[in-house]
Structure 1
Amino acid sequence: MRPSLLKRARSHTNRQAISDFMHSRGNSPHPAADTISGHKTIEEETLPKYNADTFYPVRLGETLNDRYKVLVKLGFGMTATVWLAKDLKAAENSGNRKYVTIKINVNTLSDDYLKGRRAIAQKLFSANPDHVGYTHIRFMLDTFKVKSKHGEHLCIVYDVLREPIDLCMEKFPGRRFSCEKIRVLLPALLTGLDYLHSEAGVVHTDLKADNIMMGLGDPTILDRFVQRELEHPAPRKAPDHHGRIIYTSCSDFGEAPTMAVIASAKITDIGLAVFGDEKNYKPIQSNAFMAPEVILQCGWSYPADIWNLAVMLWDLFENFGLFDSIDTRPGHYQPAKHLGLMIALMGPPPKEFLKRGAKSNQFFDSQGEFKYPDYVLKDLDWEASVSRLRGEEKDLFIDFAKKMITWVPEERWTAKQLLEHPFLTKERDPNYLTPTPSLSRASTASMGSIIPSRTATPGPPPTSHPVGGSTLTVPSHPGPSSSSPKPLERTSSRPSTPGQADLDLSRPPSRASTFSMNSTNLTTRPKPKERATSDTTHLASINVDNKCSQDLINSILNRPKHPKANGKVHEEPIMEEPS
């Protein structure tokens, strides 16, 4: 079973929702906060390398940088704690905009690491602000430093977003995205990835549900959230011998996200991002998301993010992860078993691809034969990996996934190409899709032997997608072997700028590229410009299956469109109850 990738405490137990917890308290309008025993480790104290001297001793109510009043703890990570604060310089009637998120980093980040993050942040901010994907990347608003008795702490200010989507989805029926919701979320993520790859030349390297957040939607949601916390303050531990109060986190904003909120999703946390115009070989990605070129050390670039996105779909939509039958915990992960599952899905890797891998000989012999055939599970295939869809919808979903999950990175479709896939663009008849209750985890028994626990050119013509309140026009893509396509364009006026470049430093510097970050207020917006280099120069060829994929797509789309055709009952897709 893959463990949780983020540490978030929402009450005395991880399972209890914070709203239920708070409403269970006394009726006093402003009760004192509950005190947690000093013998119990909570929040950042539970981290394996926690050192109290490296974390800033935040106190609720204190004002940072003579501007930001700290109100609520939102979360924590290996190298930072995250807080909701009120911007004292903002107008009182500015709704959610008078609040900000502040990430307060540990005091051990190296100057080289900070310089590297600054270079990435500046590129993201300046590449092409008119690109539609610009609004789907989280940017920073301000930076400053605070001092503690053990050193300086870099603080990064962001706009406030909802919880990561792996927490938001707990409010959906079945605690999973429905097919309709996935088709709203994906255009936001793909346009954001297209901006990262084709405009900024940046590889995220750690794309997963933890690092995707949505907008707030309701303009009063934060006022109500802060009032609720005032009336029901979160439990905390008394100051320890270091003088730190350990507060419990609260980041549950209540209502389930609407479709409009889902469409506002943003890619966050660029703490491990790197430039992609040159081959990289260092380890990246969480174990469950590791791409084959990363495991075999073939050199990786932008397509590694596409692989990440595809694997993440199962975490959002299915009742099991695509590779959940392997143990991905540190010290337990076996890349040979991971490769065995990939072979079960995709067949053996091409020999030419194996020749590129510095570690290929650890897993494959000189003839390209896999050394661990027992790890190739016979029961795992594309059909068995998707349990919540039927008929045409299932075929389109699998075809969409196959465009991202390929051995050879250059054969994966780009983010721009994936936006044109019929799984996203095909119009659905709501009267034809019969809603059914979402499947329970028990209903995935057919995958029991595989999953022991949960967890060509594109077909259609140019299509307009509603994304984040604007219309995205996707031009026809000539294919990876042709010249670079034009950037995606917004057909309506772009909303107000989200702020300056994102600079997310909540990760260890050992996995980041290295640059200074003393004055990172990027207050002057650069003029829009196009990247001189093609976003498809890394694509050398197209998989033979992809060349023929249009025939498959056409056969799917030309099926009978009504339950009864030629006197026979046509199989209907199984869908969740609509939102």
Structure 2
Amino acid sequence: MLQRVRDFRQIPTGDIGNILERWNSLLRLPRTSYTRPQNRHPDFPFPSLEVARYCPGGYHPVRIGDVFNNGKYKIVSKLGYGAYLTKRHVALKVLTADSFGHQKDTFELDILKHIKAQHIQHPGKGHLLGLLDEFEHHGPNGNHVCLVFKAMGPDLSKYRRLFPNIRIPLPLVKEISRQLLLALSYLHDRYMSNIKPQNILIESPAINKMFEQTPSEAFRPHGSPLEPPNDFYMASTQLSSIEEDIAHSTELSIRLADFGTSSWFNKHLTEWIQPQMLRAPEVILGADWDSKVDIWNLGLVIWELAEGRLLFDGTWTINAPYSPEAHLAQMTAVFGSVPKTLLARSKNRDRYFDADGKLLEPSAFPPCSLEQFSKNPDNSESEKKKFLSFIDSMIRLDPEERLDATRLLESEWLRFTP
């Protein structure tokens, strides 16, 4: 089973002298990017906002032993927002009842069907978690579209915690990067994804064997669920094979999963895309965007996996909430002024910038560079230069200057072996 080697969430003590040191200190923290504090009832161990969505039009209450699609699938255990099922262990994703028939229907099913129908040979398709089956299920809160996927191992947000300072070894980061770029080089013909560590899942021959051969009883959760009527709400678990040390496996592969917020290029689900700390400048500024937002996302995710820390957190001080003003200030501290061509097509320009392209809220962050933030001791000087060049080619403020996935696959850093 997946276990945490140690708790890396300790905040270093010490006096923080100036704003740059404060930012550097913040970036040394192994903050996992995309989970935010949630309100919880003192007597209820789960997020109250999630429980509130178990209502008409919302989530379907799933209990251990429930059957779906006329008995074809039976719930054994909960994996995130899915479940392991009998005979052939697969993952079941039950969409909310209001996912369709409203103003902003998810494109997930359409995109997954389109990917499944494509018979072109492309190495990137094997790094997408494709759709195995889909059906509708009627429950007390409405009709739910159910999606069936291959059962996978842990996501990268969990996997990286197996390593000291939550830094994945560089050779493995390179291989993960290659596979993600292959996936994007396939996807970017038509649609954009939603890249974050939680949406990147691991598999290996040992994990596949576990799901194929282990009896269903082994996946059932220990202990009793909550008392009725809340017995549908259970803790989720991510699994790996007990026969394999996945921290040292040489046979790992990744798949990009969850197209719930994905969009077609010519039809956007929403303009409010990306996790806050991964938002590209054109998204914050309300400019038109395309597949280059995925490239920005990927660059920041690769940085986080290799460095064990965020590049941008979008806060003025350690305990302050996220703000787009602080996020833009951090970007400009590293990359300089936002290009005028981007500002000219930005709906939100006047909210953040004056007529001369200067931030309305003066930046508290002094100019700095990517190199100043790169602290991985395993990076030799020559390796570090190639790594920084690779990251820089993905997180340019001007989307037009970011390399596409196909060209990034030719990057020297991916080919270089120290």
AA aligned to 1:41 is F
Q: Which residue is equivalent to 2:236?
A: 249
Q: Please give the residue correspondences for 1:134-283 in structure 2 after superposition, counting only pairs within 5 Å.
A: 134-198=125-189, 201-204=190-193, 206-218=194-206, 219-222=208-211, 223-224=213-214, 226-230=216-220, 233-240=222-229, 244-253=231-240, 254=242, 255-256=245-246, 259-262=249-252, 264-277=253-266, 282-283=271-272
Report the equivalent of 1:343.
332
Whether 1:57 aligns to 2:47 is: no
Give the TM-score of the pair, scaled to structure 1: 0.59
Map residues 138-537 of structure 1 onto 2, 5 A cutoff. Answer: 138-198=129-189, 201-204=190-193, 206-218=194-206, 219-222=208-211, 223-224=213-214, 226-230=216-220, 233-240=222-229, 244-253=231-240, 254=242, 255-256=245-246, 259-262=249-252, 264-277=253-266, 282-324=271-313, 326=315, 332-378=321-367, 380-388=368-376, 389-428=379-418
Alpha-carbon contact 1:85-1:99 (below 8 Å) kept: yes
CA contact (8 A) 2:261 2:269 kept: no
Q: Which amino acid aligns with 2:325?
A: A
Which stretch of structure 1 is more off in the superposition, 130-139 or 215-224? 215-224
2:28 pairs with 1:5:
no
Question: What are the ranges of 5 or more consecutive residues in structure 1 without an aligned counterpart?
Answer: 9-37, 77-81, 88-97, 429-579
Q: Which digits, 9 at most, give the CA deviation of each residue in 1:53-96, with x for residues without a partner?
A: 543332322332221121111123xxxxx110014xxxxxxxxx
Determine the structure 2 residue equivalent to 1:125.
Answer: 116
What amino acid maps onto 1:73 in structure 2?
K
The answer (yes or no) to whether the contact 2:338–2:397 under 8 Å persists in 1 is yes
CA 1:369–1:164 in structure 2 vs 1: closer, same or farther (change >3 Å)? Answer: same
Q: 1:169 to 1:235 in 2, by over 3 A?
A: farther
For residue 226 of structure 1, report the CA deviation from its aligned partner: 4.5
Q: Quick check: 396-405 or 356-365, which moved more?
A: 356-365
Amino acid at match of 2:34: L
Which amino acid in structure 2 is aligned with residue 5 of structure 1? Y
Distance in 2 between the 1:47 and 1:163 partners? 22
What percent identity do the matched residue pairs reach?
A: 25
Letter of the 1:403 partner, please give it: S
User: Residues 4 and 404 of structure 1: is their aligned pair in 2 closer, same or farther, counting only changes over 3 Å?
Assistant: closer
Paired residue for 1:68? Answer: 73
Q: What SS does the corresponding residue of 2:327 show, helix, strand or coil?
A: helix
For the residue of structure 1 that corresponds to 2:86, the secondary structure is strand
Per-residue Cα deviation, 1:399-454 (whole angstroms, up to 9, x for no partner)? 001101111101100001111001001243xxxxxxxxxxxxxxxxxxxxxxxxxx
Residue 83 (structure 2) pairs with residue 83 (structure 1): yes
Structure with the bigger RCO (C-alpha within 8 Å, sep 6+) is 1
Within 1, Cα distance between the matches of 2:388 and 2:279? 20
Q: 1:358, CA displacement in angstroms?
A: 1.8
8 Å CA contact 1:72–1:85 kept in 2: the answer is: yes
Q: Which residue type is aligned with residue 161 of structure 1?
A: M
What is the TM-score with the length of structure 2 in the denominator?
Answer: 0.81
After alignment, is 319-328 or 416-425 more displaced? 319-328
Using a 3 Å threshold, how does the CA distance of structure 1 residues 261 and 377 change in structure 2: closer, same or farther? farther
Q: Distance in 2 between matches of 1:105 and 1:370?
A: 41
Deviation of residue 382 (structure 1)?
A: 1.1
Instruction: Flag the structure with larger Rg.
Output: 1
User: SS of the residue aligned with 2:277?
Assistant: helix
Partners of 2:277 and 2:314 within 8 A in 1: no
Secondary structure, counterpart of 1:375 in structure 2: coil
Letter in 2 for 1:397: F
| 1:397–1:423 Cα contact (<8 Å) kept | yes
1:148 corresponds to which letter in structure 2?
G
Q: Is residue 75–residue 250 contact of structure 1 (8 Å, CA) maintained in 2?
A: yes
- Compared with structure 1, are the counterparts of its residues 150 and 47 closer, same or farther at alpha carbon in structure 2 (3 Å cutoff)? closer
Check whether the contact 1:172–1:256 (CA below 8 A) recurs between aligned residues.
Answer: no
Indicate how the Cα distance of structure 1 residues 364 and 149 shifts in structure 2: closer, same or farther if over 3 A, else same.
Answer: closer
Q: Structure 2: any 5+ residue segments left out of the alignment?
A: 1-25
Residues 153-207 of structure 1 deviation map (CA, whole Å, 9 limit, x = unaligned) = 2211101111211111222344321111101111100000010103xx1011x21
Quick one: which of 107, 112, 116 aligns to 2:97? 107
Question: For the aligned residues, what is the CA RMSD?
Answer: 2.9
Say which is worse superposed, 136-145 or 413-422, in terms of deviation: 136-145
AA aligned to 1:74 is L
For 1:42, give the aligned amino acid.
P
Distance 1:327 1:163, change over 3 A: farther
Distance 1:366 1:127 in 2: 48
Structure 1 pair 410–226 and aligned structure 2 pair: CA distance change class (3 A):
same
Moved more, 310-319 or 253-262: 253-262
The one-letter code sitting in structure 1 at the alignment partner of 2:64 is L
